[in-house]
Structure 1
């Protein structure tokens, strides 16, 4: 706790024939971050033909999965599946090498792919035909005012027929210009349709060449007349029957696809995952160095896993391997990957730390601290017992449903669950139960107009108390940050930074706290701490900024004051929560007494307004508490000591949702 996992550097050299098995073993263990081997006497490794096939088949199978997923029944979704997802059943594959795996995949695709592609092609072609029929029907509906056979709307040896639409304000000048160009040798029929005119022109072949540029000039949009015989209205009925037939054909094709999805979807997903993991394994090959007989790899692993890793490497290589284990050197501090190490109660809060950035290897991990302070700030801002209860119930459902997956939803739910307890506690302290609704009910039940729940203060009636409490919490939070920064810098031999950048603010804060007590006996110690702090602060600015020290002293001091005052947002959001809840309660009181005859309509309206309004208030204020609690950690607190510039540990790790590998080691 408070320190990242201890890491060791592994260097491995073994025979080429163990490469695939060794990489597969490490990939499945997922505890080593492989780095590039930097040597000049050997060449870099590269993917072979089987790795390239794995990448290609991964794309092919992904397309099959995407198609089948559309037609897979019971694919999930909805609130129930979000709160409590079903963990997929994992199918085992006995891995005997990538060559054998590729052959198995090819045998599978040889059977499955033609069937799925045929179903996909049938659906696609039928859908295309349906869209074409619908387009032709739209044209026929547009021409339904015509009572002539559509065959007369097609060109002949002597005539060119043009059907189209043109803007209504362009139609008359179009006719005039066509009439002049053809000397009146054309026929035309038309019908108005909103801001367009539907028009049919008949030209002699010789005159069409003169008229065509004019039609283009006036932006006549041509219409392709559908095939068939009869009037447009008669032909429309024929096309309706065609559409009905094609839609039935599409439904049959979809049923066939559903049958294929039922039969093959799980298997296709299984092989997709196998291929994606093989493709992922191949990405590290260029990081390895090799000779004709051997290859070398290097990487970082947690210290507590190294012994089991070495045992596994010896097993899969039959002991024909050289392994070197080294402690990190000072020169490698910037390269060491960071894996956070916290007790179970704080581990889900690592998500908040990682969102900002992990610590360097020689820094302190702030996760245990923010596990408490984040939850406290969230509870202070939301500050309502029943709001905390609603958040807690929702979070508990998320935690319960996602615990087995240990995914982001579980971690998020866990942080909210812990924060909800702080919210309920703060709600009790400030006597807030759906705002002032608890007091209203208590007054009604007891008949005492002055009855109210016990509280340390009413946030709306005594905002100064809430502000002072918020600033006191902020001062304590900043003091912890500067103290942690002092410890880190001192341990890392940055004594000057510890004494001139961290210690001054620690002393100033202690001085402010002693002044705040207003105890006569503490005035002198307060002045001493505050004065020494200011002197060290000024000295640090002179050392760091030279001639600009005077300006920076003013800037940085008031910057600290601004940072401290930023904690006033604790009070602001607490007041906002109480205020919105009270507004909802006032609206309920306004409609509660409304009656129509003997029907108490106001009670129904009041219940709806109360439930809807309080749920809205819970959601909007919980969102504000989530965001601003993070801000106080990331900006104010981390600004006192934390860089977050470490490199996260990214192990060479398989992603297994529906597959499980059994690696068969060569004898």
Structure 2
């Protein structure tokens, strides 16, 4: 806790014939982050033909999967599936080498791909044909205003017919230019079509170039007249029959696609995952170095996993491997990947730390601290027992349903669940139950108009108390941050930074607390601490900024004041929650007594307003509490000591949702 996992460097040299098996083992174990080897006496490794085939088949199978997914009958879903998703069944594949895997994949594709592609091609062709027919019907309906057989709207020997539309403002100029270009050899029919004019233009074929030039000049939009004989109305009927027939064919083709999805989908995504993992596995090959007989790799892994990795490598290579495990050097501090290590109760909060950035190897991991402060600030801002209860129920259901996946939903819901307990606690302390709804109910039950739930303060009536409490919490939060920063810098050998960057603010904060007590006996120590803090702060600014120190002293001091005052948002959001809840209660009370004859319509409307309004208030205020609580961590708190410049540990790891590899090293023959 407070420190990342201890990491060590691993170097491995073994025979080329174990390369695929060793990389597969490491990929499935997911415990080593492989790094690029910096060598000059050996050559870089490269993907072979099987790796290239895996990449190609991954793309091919992905397309098949996308097609089948569109026609797969979905099962489950809905709100229950959201809270309690089902685990996907995993199919085991006995891995005997990439050559065998590629061969098995090719055999599957040889059977499945032609069937799927044939139906996909039919559906694509039918959809294109249907769109063409629909477009033809649309054009025929448009041309029906001319009451002419469509054969007169097409080119015929010495006469060329152009059908299309032009903007109404250009119509007159177009006609004049056409008459001039053809010397009057033109026949024209037009119909109004909103802001455009629909035209049928007949000219001599020999005037083709002149006519086209004029049409282009006036942005004439040509229309391709559909095939067929008869009037547009008659052809619409014929095309509609063709459309209905094609739609029936398409429906039958889709049913075939559904059968194929039922038959092949699970196998397709199974092989897709196998190929994608092979492609991912091949991505590290350029990081390796090789000779004619051997290859070498290097990487980082947590110290706790060393025994397991050593045993696995020796088993895969039958003991024919050179393995070197060593401690990181000081020069490698910035290169060490960071894997956070926290107690189980704090692990979901690692998500919040990682959103900002993981610590460097020589920094403190703030996750256990923000697990408390984030949840507490969230509760302080939401400050309503019933709101906390609603958030807690939703979060508890998500935690229960997603715990087995340990996914982002589980982690986020867990943070909300912990935060909901603080919300309910603060709601009790401030006597808030759907705002003042709890007091209203209590007054109705007791008959006492002054009855109310016990509380330390009313957020709306005692805002100054809440503000002072928020600022006191802010000082404690900032003091914690500066103290951590002092410890880290001192431990890392940056004594000057500890004394002149962290210590001054620690002394100033202590002096502010002593001043706030208004105890006469503490005033002298308070002044002394404040003075020492200011002097150290000024010396630090002079050392860091030289001639600009005077400006930076003013800027940084008031920057600290602004940071401290930023904690007033705790009070502001607490007031906003109570205010919105009270407004909802007032609106519900206003309509409560409305009656139509003897029907108490107001009660029904009031209940709807109350439930809908309070749920809306819960959602909008919970969102505000989430955002602003994060801001207090990322901007105010982390700004006192934390860089977040570490490199996250990204192990060489397979992604398995529907497949499971059985390796020879796991006991296979």
Judge same fold: TM > 0.5, yes or no: yes
The separation in 2 between residues aligned to 1:400 and 1:131, in whole angstroms, is: 48
Aligned to 1:492: 492
Once structures 1 and 2 are overlaid, which stretch shifts more, 339-348 or 575-584? 575-584
In structure 2, C-alpha distance between the alignment counterparts of 1:208 and 1:563, rounded to whole Å: 77
Looking at structure 2, the residues matched to 464 and 177 of structure 1 have their Cα atoms a distance apart, in angstroms, of 81
What is residue 137 of structure 2 aligned with on the other side? 137
Aligned to 2:605: 605
Q: Paired residue for 1:550?
A: 550
Shift of 1:9: 0.7
RMSD: 1.5
Change (3 A) 1:548 1:148: closer
Partner SS state of residue 73, structure 1: coil
**Structure 2 partner of 1:566:** 566
Distance verdict in 2 for CA 1:215–1:642, change over 3 Å: closer
Aligned counterpart, 2:478: 478
Indicate whether 1:253 and 2:238 are aligned.
Answer: no
Deviations 1:159-205 (A, max 9, x none): 22222222334334433443444444433333222232222222233
Displacement of 1:206:
3.5
Residue 62 of structure 1 corresponds to 62
Q: What residue is the counterpart of 1:262 in the other structure?
A: 262
Larger mean Cα displacement after TM superposition, 69-78 or 106-115: 69-78
**Which deviates further from its counterpart, 447-456 or 510-519?**
510-519
Shift of 1:527: 2.5
Once the two structures are TM-superposed, the CA of residue 342 in structure 1 deviates from its matched residue by 0.1
What's the CA shift for 1:464? 0.4
Count matched residues.
Answer: 667
| Cα distance between partner residues in 2 of 1:594 and 1:633 | 48
CA–CA distance in structure 2, aligned partners of residues 178 and 530 of structure 1: 92
Unaligned runs of 5+ in 2: none
Q: Secondary structure at the match of 1:5?
A: coil
The separation in 2 between residues aligned to 1:167 and 1:41, in whole angstroms, is 73
Decide whether aligned partners of structure 1 residues 208 and 41 sit closer, same or farther in structure 2, where only a CA change above 3 A counts: closer
Q: Structure 1: state its 5+ residue gaps.
A: none
Residue aligning to 1:229: 229
Aligned partner of 1:281 in structure 2 is 281
Q: Is the 8 A contact 1:511 1:527 kept in 2?
A: yes
Matches of 2:179 and 2:495, distance apart in 1: 97
Instruction: Specify whether residues 553 and 172 from structure 1 end up closer, same or farther in structure 2 by C-alpha distance, changes over 3 A only.
Output: closer
Q: CA deviation at 1:632?
A: 0.5
Q: Cα distance, 1:77 vs. partner?
A: 4.6
Aligned with 1:298: secondary structure?
strand
Give the 3-state SS of the residue equivalent to 2:275 in structure 1.
helix
> Deviation of residue 88 (structure 1)?
0.5
How far apart are the structure 1 equivalents of 2:176 and 2:23?
Answer: 81
Distance in 1 between residues matched to 2:342 and 2:180, nearest whole Å: 90
Structure 1 residues 507 and 168: alpha-carbon distance in aligned structure 2, compared to 1, 3 A threshold: closer
Give the Cα separation in 2 of the matches to 1:219 and 1:77.
51
**Displacement of 1:144 after TM fit?**
1.5
Question: For the residues of structure 2 that align with 1:39 and 1:476, how far apart are their CA atoms?
Answer: 51
Question: Which residue is 2:650 aligned to?
Answer: 650
Classify the secondary structure of the residue corresponding to 2:14: strand
- Number of the residue aligned with 1:394: 394
Q: 1:496 to 1:240 in 2, by over 3 A?
A: same
Shift in CA distance, 323/226, structure 1 to aligned 2, threshold 3 Å:
same
CA distance in 1, matches of 2:146, 2:412: 66
Deviates more, 1:179-188 or 1:350-359: 179-188
Structure 1 residue 210: Cα displacement = 4.4
Following the alignment from structure 1 to structure 2, what is the Cα–Cα distance between the partners of residues 59 and 116? 15
| C-alpha separation in 2, matches of 1:365 and 1:280 | 30
> Residues 587 and 609 of structure 1 are in contact (CA less than 8 Å); yes or no, is this contact kept in structure 2?
yes
Q: CA deviation at 1:141?
A: 0.4
Q: CA deviation at 1:239?
A: 0.5
**1:203-251 CA deviation, whole Å, 9 max, x = no partner?**
2333555444333333332221111111111111001111101111111
Show CA shifts across 1:61-101 (max 9, x none): 11111111101111665433222221100100000000110
2: CA distance between counterparts of 1:183 and 1:36?
78
Q: Deviations over 1:455-475 (max 9, x none)?
A: 000000000000000001000
CA separation of 1:288 and 1:588: change in aligned 2, threshold 3 A: same
Question: Is this contact kept in 2: 1:146–1:231, CA < 8 A?
Answer: no
Report the TM-score, using the length of structure 2 for normalisation.
Answer: 0.97
Question: Structure 1 308/215 Cα, relative in aligned 2: closer, same or farther at 3 Å?
Answer: closer
1:606-645 matches, cutoff 5 A: 606-645=606-645
Q: TM-score, normalised by structure 1?
A: 0.97
Provide the C-alpha distance between the structure 1 equivalents of 2:500 and 2:177, rounded to a whole number of angstroms: 90
- In structure 2, do the counterparts of structure 1 residues 210 and 530 end up closer, same or farther at CA, with 3 Å as the change threshold? closer
Residue in 2 aligned with 1:87?
87
Separation in structure 2 between the aligned mates of residue 551 and residue 199 of structure 1, nearest angstrom:
75
SS at match of 1:567: helix
SS in 2 for 1:362: coil
**3-state SS of the aligned residue for 2:533?**
helix
Asked whether the 8 Å contact 1:69–1:75 carries over to 2, the reply is: no
Residues of 2 paired with 1:428 and 1:255: CA distance? 59
- Per-residue displacement from partner, 1:523-559 (whole Å, max 9, x unpaired)? 2332232222222222222322333333322222221
Equivalent residue runs for 1:13-24 within 5 Å? 13-24=13-24
Equivalent residues of 1:592, 1:603 under 8 A apart: yes
Aligned to 1:324: 324
1:239 matched to which residue of 2? 239
Provide the rounded CA distance (Å) in 2 between the counterparts of 1:556 and 1:212: 73
